[in-house]
Structure 1
Amino acid sequence: MAQLQKLEVQVELNCCADKLFGMLMAKQPDIHNLSSQVHTCKVLQDNCITVGSSRKWDFVMDGKSQFLIERIEEIDEKNRKVNRKVIEGELMKHYKTLYNTIEIIETGDATCKVVFSLEYEKINEDAPEPHNVLQFSAGFFKEIACHFTN
């Protein structure tokens, strides 16, 4: 079995870490009002955000409409960290396994750093590295952070 590979991006933002994490963990976040990249984000079961719950995201990446379904694997509210596993969607054409971790670290009164990491196993040698997912995520967080500036 191949080992998981890892990529990471860090984004410095001028917004409150708690507000950003709260939006990320909201039952029905109004992300479509905050981001031009994401059209919808909805909870698929139990209408709550807990370990084991799933959400479907409809978005545009690389100029193409896509979707993914993720399952929450772990939530650490104290450290504003969530681990998710992608279980369905366009990305899974290239990867056997795809996990992402989001950690939001307070760096000042109204500033924070988002650490977004991917752990993945490619389907085969020809599958692309998911650098586009990192770029998409960095852009997404920059875009939504504008709505949480003081």
Structure 2
Amino acid sequence: MSLIGQLETDVEIKAPADKFHDVFSCRPHHISNVTPEKIQGVDLHEGEWGKVGTIICWNYMHDGVAEIAKEVIEAIDDENYSTTFRVIEGHLLDKYKSFHFTVQATPKEDGGSLVHWILKYEKISEDVPEANGILQLAIDVTKDLDAHLIEQA
């Protein structure tokens, strides 16, 4: 059994790709306003919002438990509406040696977007489950953010 894992999913949304990408790449601290029951806060620890190398801290609920993930923004691709985060501290590193999130929004020809999530991780042991709960959290936050962006349009 491999300790290396990767989960991917696509979520169709009605919001434009550029607006969705802008929130994750430049304004993640607004996500807690949109979905406070899932994300309680996103704080800037070092750097500037919207810049590669910036360190942010997510306070979120996972399986009914308050958790924290400190992440560095590793890449922002404004042309392809993609942002990559690497976890550097927090609860996820209790179970995983490494954990990366990539979120990409792709415009659809008929309107709306397709949001593609990739979670890459290395488990600390074979006993650690796949990160399906974290993937579900990403899906739920995506849907809540979509509803908010549509409401604002």
TM-score in terms of structure 1 length? 0.92
Greater fraction of residues in helix: 2
Q: Structure 1 residue 136 and structure 2 residue 137: aligned?
A: yes
Identify if the C-alpha distance between structure 1 residues 49 and 7 changes in structure 2 by more than 3 Å, giving closer, same or farther.
same
May I ask how many residue pairs the two structures share in their alignment?
Answer: 149
Alignment identity in percent? Answer: 29
Q: Counterpart of 1:98?
A: 99
Query: In 2, are the aligned partners of 1:27 and 1:43 still within 8 Å (CA)?
Result: no
* Counterpart residue identity of residue 99, structure 1: H
Q: Counterpart of 1:57?
A: 58
Query: In 2, are the aligned partners of 1:81 and 1:103 still within 8 Å (CA)?
Result: yes
Deviations 1:44-67 (A, max 9, x none): 112333121111000111111111
Which 5+ residue runs of structure 2 have no aligned equivalent?
none
Q: Root-mean-square deviation (CA), in Å?
A: 1.6
Query: 1: distance between equivalents of 2:123 and 2:99?
Result: 9
Deviates more, 1:64-73 or 1:102-111: 102-111
Q: Structure 1 residue 79 and structure 2 residue 97: aligned?
A: no
Deviations 1:99-127 (A, max 9, x none): 11111111146401111111111000101
Alignment of 1:88-127 (within 5 A): 88-108=89-109, 110-127=111-128
Deviations 1:62-112 (A, max 9, x none): 111111011111111100011111111111111011111111111146401
Query: 2: distance between equivalents of 1:109 and 1:6?
Result: 30
* Counterpart residue identity of residue 16, structure 2: C
Identify if the C-alpha distance between structure 1 residues 28 and 95 changes in structure 2 by more than 3 Å, giving closer, same or farther.
closer
Q: CA deviation at 1:30?
A: 1.9
Which 5+ residue runs of structure 1 have no aligned equivalent?
none
